[in-house]
Every structure is written in structure tokens, then in C-alpha cells.
A and B are shown apart, each in its own frame.
Chain A
């Protein structure tokens, strides 16, 4: 049972345009969501997060939108740059209880930004 899904394995975008990466989840108990970026031969690095009490969080060129009723979140990158080419993972977790920060990850989306 995959609780976090990224249904697009890859996305190709022209430099300067918007990149939109999507993520769906099934568990309504998740109360925070994160995006990680991964370059080849490196570990994932944290990009941006959002709490379930918000519907938008922005950090520079990166904006995450959360639609709780649809159990859907998206990451917008504007404008896209060639250096943004990487694998992007969506992750979800619980804020309390015995969660201890354990995350459930999606399969990842490979973003390629063409010059």
C-alpha cells in the first residue's frame, strides 16, 4: 500500500518556464509534507515543507501548494534553471505521537530543465 505517490516518473521543462511536480497521498493522518531534491551520487537534500494547517508555503523560486480535500500537493519552481535538474521526492510524516520524524516517501520525479 503506497501511501505517497508521485505518478509522473519524469518531467522535461524549458529553462525559464514553470516546473510543476505533483504528489498524492492516501493517509489523512499525515500532518506535514516535505520536498527533497537529489542529485546523482548524493543524498537527498531538504527543499521546502508545509504543515497541514497551511495551503501554501513559498521560499524564493519554490512554492508548495497543499490541497487537503484532494490529498494532493504540488511543487512549483519558477523560473526553472538547468541546475534544478534532479530527482524530486515528496515525503509525508506525522508531527507527534511516536512518529519520531519517520517519513513516507514517494517514488520520485526526474526533472530535466533544458537550456
Chain B
């Protein structure tokens, strides 16, 4: 059981380039999330989805877009990369939105924008 898989593990982008961070889960979870972690900071929610076709903004959505065409996949799109988007990105999923349903995280994508 792979859980939550993120690709790529590392990426370097030039300012203004675009890319898609891939995330897939095999646990049949309806709820999926994208977080970013900056050095010395906690994780901040970028976008989340409560099921296929339904997405909404989190705390720091500017500069990002998401889509959820299937239960399994939740890609995060950066259209015009900026140095402020240098961070480690974590995708997560959960069975429900209740407190006894913890998040399952992928291993992260480390992105550097120069």
C-alpha cells in the first residue's frame, strides 16, 4: 500500500516558469490537501478538496491552482514561478474531516525558484 505519492522529489525552476506537482493516493480518501512548509515555519494550507470536482482555497492560495478530476489525483499547478514559492510542498489525504481522521502525508517536493 503506497499511501500518498508525490513527484518529483526535487525541482529547480527559473522565475516565470511553470510546473505541476503531482500527488496521487491509493487509500480511496475523499479529502486531499496541499501544504507548504517554509524554513522554521509550520505547514500552511494552500488548497484542499473534499472530493472529485470540488476544490477550495486554503490560507495561502495565491500563485497556485489545483484540479481534482479523480479521487486519486490532486495536482498542484504553479503558473509563473516566483522566488517566494521556494518551499517544501506536501500533499496529504484523509478519510474524513473529523478529528479522529488524521492526515496522511506524502514525502514532499522540494522546490527552488531562482
Q: Number of A residues contacting the other chain (C-beta, 8 Å)?
A: 28
Q: Beta-carbon contacts of A7-47 to B below 8 Å, as 1s and 0s?
A: 00100000000000000000000011010100001111110
Stretch at the interface among B63-71, B75-83, B92-100: B92-100
A20-B4 Cα distance, complex, nearest whole Å: 30
Q: Assuming the A-B contacts A43-B106, A43-B108, A102-B33, are A95 and B42 also in contact, with contact meaning beta carbons closer than 8 angstroms in the complex? A: no
Q: Beta-carbon contacts of B88-114 to A below 8 Å, as 1s and 0s?
A: 001010101111111111111000000
Complex contacts, A4 vs chain B, CB 8 Å? 42
A45-B92 Cα distance, complex, nearest whole Å: 10
Q: Assuming the A-B contacts A9-B40, A43-B106, are A101 and B100 also in contact, with contact meaning beta carbons closer than 8 angstroms in the complex? A: no
Complex contacts, B41 vs chain A, CB 8 Å? 107
Interface centre among A34, A101, A102, A103 (most CB of B within 10 A): A101
Q: Assuming the A-B contacts A102-B48, A102-B58, A108-B42, are A49 and B33 also in contact, with contact meaning beta carbons closer than 8 angstroms in the complex? A: no
Q: How far is the CB of B12 from chain A (nearest CB, A)?
A: 17
Complex contacts, B21 vs chain A, CB 8 Å? none
> Is the Cβ of B99 less than 8 Å from the Cβ of A107?
no
Q: Beta-carbon contacts of B1-38 to A below 8 Å, as 1s and 0s?
A: 00010000000000000000000000000010101000
Interface centre among A44, A91, A100, A105 (most CB of B within 10 A): A100
Complex contacts, B104 vs chain A, CB 8 Å? 46
